[in-house]
Amino acid sequence: MMVRGLISGVVGLLLAAAQVPAGLAGEREQDFLNGKSKACPDCALERAPLKRRDLSGGDLAGAHLKLAVLHRARLAGASFAGAELVNANLNKSDLKRASLTGAKLSGAMLYEADLSAADLTGADLSDVKLHKARLVGTRLDRANLNHAILTGARLDDASLAGADLRGANLIGGLLRGTNLNGANLSEAGLIDAVLRDARLRGANLIGADLYGADFTGADLSGADLSDARLSGATLTNANLEGARLSGALMPDGTTHE
């Protein structure tokens, strides 16, 4: 009896730490890991081995997937709303049309992942690695992309209104028609990025490196480009009405007063 009581107590402590309801402890997780189900909302799946798994259309809202391995997983249309994916491996995964609103993905690896038309509104993507990722038409409004790596990423027609991109690396990125109204891109690197017809009204680009960037037809009205590096940049037909350019290094090599 004492041994049984001790075991019960230990199990109870483990369940509390994992935040898994006692009545569902292990059962849902086991079915999910064995491929019997694509739904495991709020489950404890830290470090789960899910490489190449087909979870398209699945429900993992609120799940704890810290350090999980989802390399090349098929996750199109799946729900990860409010899920924890901190430091998870999502390299080359298919996340088209997935819901990741409010999800925590800080430090996650998403090299060459496809997040086209996915919803990441309000998600935490700080320090994520999105090198050559596809985010066409993706919603990232108010998302935290502080110091994210988006080199060579494709964000055409994506919406990042009010997003935090401070110190982000977008070198060589494609942001044609992208909505960056009110976004914070201070100290961000956008060398050779293509922002044709992008919307950057009221955006913060203080100290940003915009060398060689293409802003043809972009709306930069009211944006703050103070101390930004615009040498080699293309501003053909760009709207700079009300923009602040104090200390900016201009395309012709002069420094704006």
**pTM recorded for the entire structure:** 0.88
Query: Is the pLDDT confidence value at 86 over 70?
Result: yes
3-state secondary structure of 43: coil
3-state secondary structure of 170: coil
DSSP single-letter state for residue 77: T
**Alpha-carbon separation of residue 138 from 5, 43, 55, 169 (angstroms):** 51, 26, 20, 18
Predicted pLDDT at 197: 99
Summarised one tens digit per residue, pLDDT across range 19-52 is 443 333 489 999 999 999 999 999 999 999 999 9
Predicted pLDDT at 253: 87
Query: Is the pLDDT confidence value at 6 over 70?
Result: no
Predicted pLDDT at 257: 80
| Dist CA 229 CA 187 (whole Å) | 10
Quick one: which of 83, 35, 40 has its CA closest to 59?
A: 40
Give the pair of three-digit tokens for residue 148. Answer: 């994210």
**Element spanning 12, H or E:** helix 2-18
3-state secondary structure of 4: helix
